[in-house]
Amino acid sequence: MKRAFTLIELLVVIAIIAILAAILFPVFAQAKEAAKKTASLSNAKQTGTSTMIYIADSDDVFPKATLRYNNAWYAGTVVPAPINAVATGVYASAALRQSASEVAPGSLQPYTKNNELNKQGDNVITIGTYTYTAGVNVNNGLTMNGFMQHLSSSSVNNASAAVLFWGGGGNSGYKNFASNNPQLVCAAADTSCTWSAGTTTVTGSSFGPDPTWAGAGGYRPYGYTHGVAVIRTDTSAKWRKVGVQENKTDAGPYNEDVWNDPFASVFPDSGSYGYQYFGCNTGEGNGYDPASTAPEWHCFFRPDRAK
């Protein structure tokens, strides 16, 4: 006669299974997170490589990062990505769509051939009341370093150090829209809007996640495994830990890792400005201050950086 399991034996088996599950589930979650990180880095790398092909066809000049329309610059403005993703709203205008198509990532579309390369996180932020093109659902979290706008690649001081693209959307991306981060804030008459450390035509730099992102559902300033993809102008790609240290007051101190971590010095409680970032205390401003008239270049994004 077969002997049935006793209640104690069943409870022991259940307990063992529960212990194994508690051990293995976090491992599975970490493996899944690591796989997503690898895919995001690979995608970003392809965007960097596509950009190098683009500049070879464009007189050795990096793409436009800030929208220019009707003889004015619109720093911080999002553009449809891909350009046909939005069916209504202001981008129903053919002229505005044409201007938007000249901004990365739209200008890179003929080279990337893939709308999914800009995804850097799973959180999707929907803006406005646009009607999207049927079948288009793109999450854009990869951002171009706007300080590279219209620069010649030969003017970059150290190609292996200068940042071209990075996961500026953190774990989030705009649905069917894209932004570049940081972006130059240029006078309307400055038709080139090109970065220069001593320029007087640039009144500042828009930096950090769009202020409207701060507090948005599920947003955080880093992607998978507490890091973001960083693509240099030599197309080298690395995943970097970011936001390791947060400063809580605008008095500093300045983190010594500002060359490698765009969030090394961050004041996350900046009211209507959302996340606010500090520069390198170079005498050119300490971060994004809309009232300032001095150029404010964060060390991580400087095209002339040496390290």
Q: What is the pLDDT of residue 271?
A: 47
Least confident of 42-51, 203-212, 222-231: 203-212
Other beta carbons within 10 angstroms of residue 13's beta carbon come to 11
Q: What is the pLDDT of residue 198?
A: 66
Other beta carbons within 10 angstroms of residue 279's beta carbon come to 25
Least confident of 32-36, 78-82, 134-138, 274-278: 274-278
Other beta carbons within 10 angstroms of residue 255's beta carbon come to 19
Q: Which residue has the higher pLDDT, 135 or 47?
A: 47
| 232 pLDDT higher than 70 | yes
Q: Which residues lie below 8 Å from residue 66, measured CB to CB, with a gap of 6+?
A: 73, 74, 75, 77, 103, 146, 149, 180, 183, 184, 186, 193
Q: Which residues lie below 8 Å from residue 138, measured CB to CB, with a gap of 6+?
A: 81, 82, 85, 115, 116, 118, 119, 175, 176
Q: Which residue has the higher pLDDT, 213 or 8?
A: 8
Least confident of 168-172, 237-241, 259-263, 291-295: 291-295
Q: What is the pLDDT of residue 253?
A: 47
Q: Does pTM top 0.85 for this prediction?
A: no
Q: What is the pLDDT of residue 28?
A: 63
Distances (CA, A) of 242 to 160, 230, 239, 257, 280: 19, 11, 9, 10, 16
pLDDT digits (tens, 9 = 90+) for 124-164: 888 877 888 888 888 888 999 988 998 998 889 899 999 99
What does the pLDDT average to over 158-173? 89
Is residue 257 within 8 Å of 246, Cβ to Cβ?
no
Q: What is the pLDDT of residue 209?
A: 47
